[in-house]
């Protein structure tokens, strides 16, 4: 189903959700609570829980849609499904310990709708693992520091466990993308096409309200461990600096 003002072909249909969930299409339609709101962290846990579920769905969708992919890559995708399921359960536990009820806040499923809309496996990994999850590495690194500054050791430990997994997810995608691009340089065109469409879709979902002035410094050590080159990390750092001061 298309939404008004959306360029045709940017999104796939959303994943199934049960009647507890209210699904929105754009960031401004969700409960974007200020950081000083007492419910800010609780809503964050609910949102993260759902985002981890969409990560499971993305990896599972790729397993289904590309059954002839290299066995080693399919094993990495299966492991990613298991990792993301564990993350979703961790965020749900924190959420419910604070009195949260599943479905109390609206959710976005844009990552699934953007990634699964891409017709190529290399494009999907470039969007999901090399872009979305790489950005997550930067955010988690900041989250660990802030959690410790506030004395929230439980949250810091959750983030550390999540970060270790996300580094692996980005690294296996980086390694496979590099090998496939070297094997057939035409794959670079597939990546470029996928990322261009994903960027347009992401901008529609988030709008200026959800992106203006929002950015995290590039986690250089973690990105290097995840398989990015020093030049790529410098580019990410420059971009983060630009966004953070816009």
Transcribe 82-120 into DSSP letters. Answer: HHHHHHHHHHHHHHHHTT--TTSS-EE-HHHHHHTT-SS
* DSSP strands (E only) in the chain: 23-24, 107-108
Q: What pLDDT digit, counting tens, does each position of 140-185 carry?
A: 999 999 999 999 999 999 999 999 999 999 999 999 999 999 999 9
Average pLDDT over residues 29-54: 95
**In CATH, which superfamily holds the domain spanning 23-244?**
Ferritin, core subunit, four-helix bundle (1.20.1260.10)
Reference 159, options 106, 111, 109, 216; nearest CA is 216
Q: Which two tokens stand for residue 135?
A: 């950005």
CA–CA distance, 90 with 192 (Å, rounded to integer): 34
Per DSSP, what are the bridge partners of residue 23?
107
Average pLDDT over residues 188-201: 97
- At residue 67, the 3 state secondary structure works out as coil
Average pLDDT over residues 111-127: 98
The mean-pLDDT minimum among 33-37, 68-72, 166-170 falls in: 33-37
- At residue 246, the 3 state secondary structure works out as coil
In the predicted model, is pLDDT for residue 223 greater than 80? yes
Average pLDDT over residues 193-222: 90
Q: Which residue has the higher pLDDT, 213 or 77?
A: 77
pTM of the model: 0.92
Reference 227, options 171, 159, 180; nearest CA is 171
- At residue 228, the 3 state secondary structure works out as coil
pLDDT band at 216, cuts 50/70/90? Answer: confident
Q: What is the pLDDT of residue 237?
A: 85
Q: Which residue has the higher pLDDT, 1 or 92?
A: 92
Q: What is the mean pLDDT of the chain?
A: 93
CA–CA distance, 125 with 62 (Å, rounded to integer): 9
**Residue ranges covered by each domain of the chain:** 23-244
**φ/ψ of residue 66, rounded to 5:** -130, 65
pLDDT band at 208, cuts 50/70/90? Answer: confident
Average pLDDT over residues 105-115: 98
Beta carbons of 54 and 16 less than 8 angstroms apart: no
What is the percent of the chain with per-residue pLDDT over 70, rounded to a whole number? 94
pLDDT band at 246, cuts 50/70/90? Answer: very low
CA–CA distance, 62 with 195 (Å, rounded to integer): 17
Average pLDDT over residues 93-107: 97
């Amino acid at each position: 189903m298309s939404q008004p003002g959306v360029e045709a072909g940017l999104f796939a249909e959303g994943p199934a959700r049960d009647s507890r969930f209210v699904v929105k299409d754009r960031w401004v339609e969700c409960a974007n609570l200020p950081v000083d709101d007492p419910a800010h962290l609780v809503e964050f846990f609910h949102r993260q829980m759902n985002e981890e579920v969409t990560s499971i769905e993305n990896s599972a969708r790729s397993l289904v849609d590309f059954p002839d992919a290299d066995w080693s890559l399919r094993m990495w995708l299966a492991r990613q499904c298991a990792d993301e399921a564990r993350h979703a359960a961790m965020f749900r536990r924190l959420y419910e310990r604070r009195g949260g009820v599943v479905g109390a806040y609206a959710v976005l499923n844009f990552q699934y709708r953007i990634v699964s809309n891409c017709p190529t496996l290399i494009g999907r990994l470039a969007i999901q693992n090399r872009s979305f999850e790489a950005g997550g590495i930067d955010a988690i690194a900041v989250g660990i520091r802030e959690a410790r500054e506030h004395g929230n050791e439980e949250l810091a430990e959750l983030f550390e466990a999540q970060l270790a997994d996300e580094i692996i997810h980005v690294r296996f995608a980086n390694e496979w993308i590099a090998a496939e691009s070297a094997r057939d340089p035409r794959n670079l065109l597939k990546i470029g096409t996928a990322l261009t469409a994903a960027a347009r879709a992401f901008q529609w979902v988030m709008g200026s309200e959800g992106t203006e002035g929002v950015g995290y410094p590039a986690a250089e050590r973690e990105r290097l461990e995840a398989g990015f080159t020093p030049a790529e990390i410098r580019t990410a750092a420059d971009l983060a600096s630009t966004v953070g001061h816009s």
